Every structure is written in C-alpha cells, then in structure tokens.
C-alpha cells in the first residue's frame, strides 16, 4: 500500500521541488566567456548521445574553456523531462526538439533581437506574436508518399497519382497486382499519416484553417470527414492491413522496404532510414495528392528540424545563445545535422542523395509550406491534439465510422476550448 | 529536580526518537508531503511550467467525472486488476504446489518461474510485442502455414487479453515464492494426521493446506491488486495504450495527461482518485480476508 501511494504521488514529488524552487521567474544571467553549457537533446537511433557530443566538439575547440554537456532525457522524451528538470530547479541552458508554444514561451529566452535568427528556416512561421523563441537547423517535409516503382510498374501505373481519386484507383490496381497498397502501423503512425496526407488539400481549401478552427468557423471533424470516409473505405477494401495497429513503425518500415507493400506515407526523415536499409527495388517519392480539382502539387506540410531554444533561467545566457547560433548557422554543424537525421535546407543540397534531391524538389515546387497537426507559431491547435487524433483515427480500425471519429475529435476540441 | 528514574525515562524516549525519527522523517518527506502536494495540485490548473498555477477548486474532478476516456481507463484498470489478481493467485498457488519439495529439479523450476519478474517491465513488453505483434514470431509462424494473422495487439479485446496475459506471466513468480513460503508453514503433523485418517490428496489440500495458507492468500491478493492497479510500464512497451486507446490504464493516462498534454493539475486529480480507489479496494480485500482468516483460526 505504501509503495502504491508513493508511486501514485510521484508527480507531486516533482511539484514539491518546483514549489521549493520558487518558480521560474528567474531571468538568468549573462554568464562568463567560459564555463559549462547544458543542452537537453532528443536521443534517437540516428541522434545518439555520441553523435551530439561529436557535433559540439568543434564549438568547444573554438571556445577554449567552454564545455557543452549533452544531457539525454530521463523520462520518455524531452517533452516530459523538461518539466521535471524545471520543477527540480535543475533546468538545462538549451533544449532541443521542443518548439515554443504559449505554455513554454514564458520559460524561454526571446531571440527576436538576434540578427542571425532571420536566416534560419521557418523562423517567422514558428514565432509567437512575432517574438522568436525557437530557431531550427532545417525543415522536415511531411506530406510525402514513398513508393515502390516496381510495384507501380507491375500494377500498370505509369505515373504517381496527383489527386486522391487517382490514389484510390492506384491502390485498387496495386492490390490486384498482389501488393498491400498502403503500409501503415499502430503507435503514432496511423494518425500522423492521415495528417500528412491531409495537409495539401486542407491548406488549399482552407488557407486559414487553423484560425478558422480556433474561431469555431470550421471544425476539425467537419473538414477532415471526407478524408476519414476515404480512409474508412481503404480499410474496408483491404488497401491497408486491417491488423496494422499491431505493428510498430520499425516493422512497418521493414515491411515496406522489403517490398511487401507499395506505398508508405511518411516525413522526409524516412529518406535516411530507407537508404540505410538499401531496398532491392527502385524507391521513389511524390508529394501527397490533393483533392480532385485542386492544383497539384499542393501546399506541403513542413515542420522545423532540430529546433533549439535557450531557457530564460540560464546562468550562461551569452554562451548558450552563442552555442545555438553556431548550431543553426555554422555550415559544417548544419550540414552534419541535416545529413544525420534526413533533413533539408535551402543552400545545402550538394550532398543530397538522389532520393533526397527528389524531396528537396518537392519542397521547392510546393506553392506554400504549411503547419501540420498541433502546428506551431500562429497556427496551433490545443496541446494533445496529435495524440487524440491518432486514437480517433485508429478507432476506424476497431469498428467506429468516419462520422463517429469526426464527432469524437470535435468533442475533444470542444473540451479544450 | 530530576531523579534517576526520570533521567532513565528521558534516555529511553531519546533512544526511541532517534530510532523512529529517521523512518518518520522519510515517511513524511516521501509520502505525506507528496500526497499533500498532489491533493493541492489537483485543485489547480498547473501545466508543469507556470510559476503561479491558479486554484480551480474541484474543476479537475468535475472534468474527470465527465471524461469518457478517463472513465474507460478506470474500467480497464479495474478489469486488469480483477482478472489479473485471480490469475496471479491461482497460478501462483498451482505452480507453488508443483515445485514444492526439496529437489534440484524443483530448485531449477523455481528459478525459471521467478525469472520473468527479474526482467524490467519495459524489456518484457518489447519482448512480447516481438512475439505477439502482427509481424511477430507467432503470426510469422501462422502465416507461413497459410493461416490468418491473429490480432493479439491490433484488436481491442485481444490486446487487453494479451496485456493481462503478459502481466500475469511477468508477475506470478512473486506469488509462487510467497505461496512456497506459506507451504513451508503448513503443519506436518496435520498433514500426517490427514494421511493416516485416509484423506485423499484433494481433501487434504482443501481442508488442511488451503486453510493454513489463508494469511498468505490475503497477502497475495492485496499485493497483486495494488500492483495491477498501477500498471503502467508494460502498457507503454507492449501496446502503447492502443489500439485506439483501448488498453490505456489509469496510471498510463495520468502520465499522458500530465506530461503529453501538459495538464498536471488534471493528472494530479486522477492520481488522487486512483490512490483513494486503490486504498479502498485494498482495505476491503484485507478486511474480507481477515474475516476468513478469523474463521480459519476459530
């Protein structure tokens, strides 16, 4: 019993520390020219702790007496580790992965007056009320469909579909040719794929979708319903595996890259994964189709790659800002980060692989770059939207109808207003 | 003016205080303060970052009462706790009876039975997801034989059953150990008397062994119930709360709402309710079992 109470009150322990710490109003201080800068980073199979330590070595060498301490999340990720560190009065100086929103911004240093931020990708789109808190290394293209060119040829599909009707028709042909038309998975993949697919058509039809949803002129369910109905028909027709929710992302990728399925909707970071696994077939990529009648290619969903923020409470403000500037501006540091995690940035195209070049072309040809899901900057939905959307979309596999899903997501949005 | 007796009493009190003090301090710091803070936070809108959370009264509790997701997670947790507790107790006792005896083979099997409990729940979850997943070992075998894929983790009911099964697999080693310890306390004289009186093994078990194990059964039930009510890490690694949120437990949802949705006030309200439910259920089971224990003694 005692153990149970202790476990159940774990969150409160963190809070207690926060209370003792006296809040986060501390503005920090400029600090000296030397010392330690702590950076909390995301750790993934691509971005190992060793990689991060190697990345910042040139910065340390160029700034004798400066030690950049890389810190891995202690929780499930940066998102749940940062509040714990803040609560414990042990916040890092720099945080990678998260982007400022209305909750985080008060804890972050405003970088609006830093001239170098203006040359960084998506900086204006990520600004909150025209204030810059987050700067990034590059862009991640979101609305991409990777495809098996051999499967398409075998199914008699001469060119990638440009609209969703053509996409559905192509799925029918691919199924007839013996392929699982679209690879998906459980975990976060199900909802993410549908968001990625929705970006071009939603942004074309409703250029101010976020604002209209937030002002209740539109509802998420209402605007997403046609796509949900289409997805429901794909499940019914066997265009996606009805047992896909029992797969994780790695298994899904393996299934696609070993030629069992013909298409995989995913962001540009998949380029690196795909190339490292060396598929035996010719792998291509096309921009997510739009609704019939809309121009193609449509707006491309993009997110900031490797976003950095400096915490307001830092005691090494000058060094922390200098480090972040170096991370997002130094040619070699930027090139390294782009290559390591499959990200893109204008002016850094020399070392792109053929598949990477196709993605860069898609980014360049898109008429507009738009936010996706929870979004960022002026285009945001309530926190937790992506997770709730994912669960709602998954319920299409467990017997719910498209209108049920639309109603569920609208009900959730209503509860957050 | 102090007498030698008064000085001795003072010494005794100081000794007692010096022995009890550290434990009491730990108890207060590690349990009383966090629980108090948790209750306080449950009355606020704290998002995990703001310096001055606003007091919102019972709003978080009202939201909790209206949250279909939280209510569903509550029922899922209770189902896991009820079914899991029964399975852990029955299987624990069954296997304890099988390996009760001093032989090298029994010692080996005891180690094997306890081994899953030594593994991290996260490791256990990832291991079983590799076995039960759509492209896992079992389904790989089935499809190679031309059979249909079984939806262990992709169908809500199957996923819940899989989760309970893995929880039981990972946890019942402890129950085996507890029952084995209990079996050592069963009076040899009574067992011998039953044998001489011509009782069958079944009669001996039901009328001698099982009543003697009554206190151990109580401990097993309460421990299993409390452990299962806070199931979290296996959900993360085996099902991720899916499909479609169908295997989210109360503890999983607390962490999800607290950190994923930055709603620590709401998460704290869920923690307080879970704590009260856990305490209530554990006390009820203990009370009911104590009546049984009293009956056995009588």
Distance CA(B215)–CA(A187), nearest Å, equals 43
User: Which residues lie below 8 Å from residue A351, measured CB to CB, with a gap of 6+?
Assistant: A335, A339
pLDDT tops 60 at residue A18: no
Distance CA(A368)–CA(B21), nearest Å, equals 67
Domain extent, residue B274, equals: 67-297
Residues of chain B found within 8 Å of residue A79, distances taken between Cβ atoms:
259-260
Confidence of residue A137 (pLDDT cuts 50, 70, 90): very high
Tell me whether residues B244 and A106 touch, CB distance under 8 A: no
Residues of chain A found within 8 Å of residue B256, distances taken between Cβ atoms:
387
Q: What is the CATH number of domain A24-137+306-348?
A: 3.40.190.10
pLDDT tops 80 at residue A7: no
How many angstroms away from the CA of A100 is the closest CA of chain B? 12
What would the pLDDT profile of A151-160 be if each residue is shown by its tens digit? Answer: 999 999 999 9
Mean pLDDT of A276-301: 94
Detail the DSSP E strand segments found in A251-384.
261-266, 283-287, 300-305, 308-310, 369-370, 375-376, 379-380
Which of helix, strand or coil describes residue A244? Answer: helix
Distance CA(B113)–CA(B95), nearest Å, equals 8
> What domain count does chain B have?
1
- Domain-embedded: residue B237: yes
Segments of chain A assigned to CATH 3.40.190.10: 24-137+306-348, 141-303+366-416
Cα three-residue angle A38-A42-A43, rounded to 5 degrees: 110
Residues of chain A found within 8 Å of residue B132, distances taken between Cβ atoms:
246
Angle between helices B59-66 and B264-297 (to 10 degrees): 70
Q: How far apart are the first and last CA of chain A?
A: 38
Instruction: Return the H-helix or E-strand segment holding A18.
Output: helix A10-21
What would the pLDDT profile of A239-252 be if each residue is shown by its tens digit? Answer: 999 999 999 999 99
How many angstroms away from the CA of B90 is the closest CA of chain A? 22
Distance CA(B267)–CA(B263), nearest Å, equals 6
pLDDT in tens, chain B (298 residues): 568 889 999 999 999 999 999 999 999 999 999 999 999 999 999 988 887 889 999 999 999 999 989 999 999 999 999 999 999 999 999 999 999 888 888 889 888 889 888 899 889 999 999 999 998 999 999 999 999 999 999 999 999 999 999 999 999 999 999 999 999 989 999 999 999 999 998 999 999 999 999 889 989 999 999 999 999 999 999 999 989 999 999 999 999 999 888 899 999 999 999 999 999 998 998 888 777 777 666 6
Beta bridge partners of A71: A40
What would the pLDDT profile of A158-217 be if each residue is shown by its tens digit? Answer: 999 999 999 999 999 999 999 999 999 999 999 999 999 999 999 999 999 999 999 999
Query: Which of 3.40.190.10, 3.40.50.10130, 3.50.50.60, 3.40.140.10 is the CATH number of A141-303+366-416?
Result: 3.40.190.10
Confidence of residue A349 (pLDDT cuts 50, 70, 90): confident
Task: Check residue A65 and give its pLDDT.
Answer: 94
Confidence of residue A27 (pLDDT cuts 50, 70, 90): low
Q: How far apart are the first and last CA of chain B?
A: 53
Distance CA(A238)–CA(A412), nearest Å, equals 29
Tell me whether residues B279 and A1 touch, CB distance under 8 A: yes
Task: Check residue B298 and give its pLDDT.
Answer: 61
Task: Check residue B136 and give its pLDDT.
Answer: 92
Mean pLDDT of A134-140: 95
- Domain-embedded: residue B14: no
Residues of chain A found within 8 Å of residue B136, distances taken between Cβ atoms:
246
CA-closest candidate to residue A109, choices A306, A304, A316: A316
CATH of the domain at B234: 1.10.3720.10
- Report yes or no: A157 and A239 within 8 Å, Cβ to Cβ: no
């Amino acid at each position: 019993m005692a153990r149970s109470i202790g476990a159940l009150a774990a969150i409160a322990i963190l809070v207690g520390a926060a209370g003792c710490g006296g809040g986060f109003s501390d503005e920090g201080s400029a600090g000296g020219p030397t010392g330690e800068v702590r950076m909390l980073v995301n750790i993934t199979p691509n971005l190992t702790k060793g990689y991060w330590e190697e990345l910042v070595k040139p910065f340390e060498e160029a700034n004798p007496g400066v030690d950049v301490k890389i810190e891995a999340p202690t929780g499930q990720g940066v998102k749940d580790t940062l509040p714990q560190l803040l609560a414990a009065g042990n916040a890092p100086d720099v945080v990678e992965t998260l982007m400022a929103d209305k909750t985080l911004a008060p804890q972050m240093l405003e970088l609006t007056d830093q001239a170098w931020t203006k040359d960084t990708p998506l900086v204006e789109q990520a600004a909150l009320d025209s204030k810059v808190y987050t700067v990034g290394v590059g862009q991640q293209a979101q609305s991409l469909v990777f495809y098996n060119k051999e499967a398409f040829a075998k199914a008699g599909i001469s060119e990638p579909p440009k609209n969703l009707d053509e996409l559905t028709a192509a799925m029918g042909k691919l199924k007839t040719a013996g392929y699982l038309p679209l690879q998906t998975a459980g975990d976060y993949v199900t909802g993410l794929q549908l968001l990625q697919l929705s970006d071009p058509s939603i942004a074309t039809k409703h250029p101010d979708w976020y604002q209209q949803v937030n002002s209740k002129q539109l509802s998420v369910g209402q605007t997403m319903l046609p796509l949900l109905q289409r997805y429901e028909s794909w499940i019914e027709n066997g265009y996606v595996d009805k047992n896909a929710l029992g797969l994780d992302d790695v298994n899904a990728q393996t299934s696609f890259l070993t030629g069992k399925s013909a298409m995989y909707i995913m962001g540009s970071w998949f380029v690196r994964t795909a190339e490292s696994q060396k598929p035996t077939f010719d792998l291509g990529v096309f921009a997510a189709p739009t609704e019939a009648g809309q121009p193609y290619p449509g707006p491309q969903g993009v997110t900031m790659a490797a976003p950095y923020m400096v915490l307001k409470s830092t005691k090494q403000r000058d060094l922390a800002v200098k480090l972040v500037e170096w991370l997002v501006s130094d040619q070699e540091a930027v090139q390294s980060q782009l290559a390591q995690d499959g990200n893109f940035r204008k002016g850094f195209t020399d070392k792109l692989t053929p598949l990477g070049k196709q993605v860069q072309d898609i980014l360049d040809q898109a008429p507009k770059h738009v936010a996706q899901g929870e979004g960022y900057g002026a285009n945001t939905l309530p926190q937790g939207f992506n997770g709730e959307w994912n669960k709602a979309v998954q319920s299409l596999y467990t017997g719910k109808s498209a209108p049920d899903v639309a109603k569920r997501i609208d009900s959730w949005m209503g509860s957050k207003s | 003016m102090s007498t030698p007796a008064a000085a001795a009493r003072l010494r005794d009190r100081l000794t007692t205080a010096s022995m009890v003090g550290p434990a009491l301090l730990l108890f207060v710091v590690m349990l009383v303060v966090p629980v108090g803070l948790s209750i306080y936070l449950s009355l606020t809108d704290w998002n995990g970052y703001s310096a001055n959370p606003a007091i919102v009264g019972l709003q978080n509790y009202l939201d909790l009462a209206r949250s279909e997701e939280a209510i569903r997670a509550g029922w899922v947790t209770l189902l896991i706790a009820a079914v899991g507790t029964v399975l852990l107790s029955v299987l624990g006792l069954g296997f304890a009876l099988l390996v009760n005896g001093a032989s090298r083979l029994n010692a080996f099997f005891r180690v094997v039975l306890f081994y899953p409990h030594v593994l991290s729940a996260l490791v256990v979850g990832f291991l079983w997801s590799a076995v039960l997943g759509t492209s896992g070992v079992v389904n790989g075998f089935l499809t190679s034989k031309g059979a249909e894929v079984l939806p262990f983790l992709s169908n809500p009911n199957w996923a819940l059953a899989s989760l309970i099964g893995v929880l039981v697999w990972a946890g019942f080693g402890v129950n085996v150990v507890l029952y084995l310890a209990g079996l050592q306390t069963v009076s040899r004289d009574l067992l011998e008397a039953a044998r001489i009186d011509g009782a069958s093994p079944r009669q001996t078990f039901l009328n001698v062994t099982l009543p003697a194990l009554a206190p151990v059964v109580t401990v097993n039930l309460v421990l299993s119930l409390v452990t299962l009510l806070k199931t979290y890490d296996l959900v993360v690694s085996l099902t991720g709360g899916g499909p479609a949120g169908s295997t989210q437990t109360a503890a999983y949802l607390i962490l999800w709402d607290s950190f994923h949705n930055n709603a620590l006030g709401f998460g704290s309200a869920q923690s307080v309710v879970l704590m009260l439910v856990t305490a209530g259920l554990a006390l009820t089971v203990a009370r009911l079992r104590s009546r049984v224990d009293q009956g056995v003694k009588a």
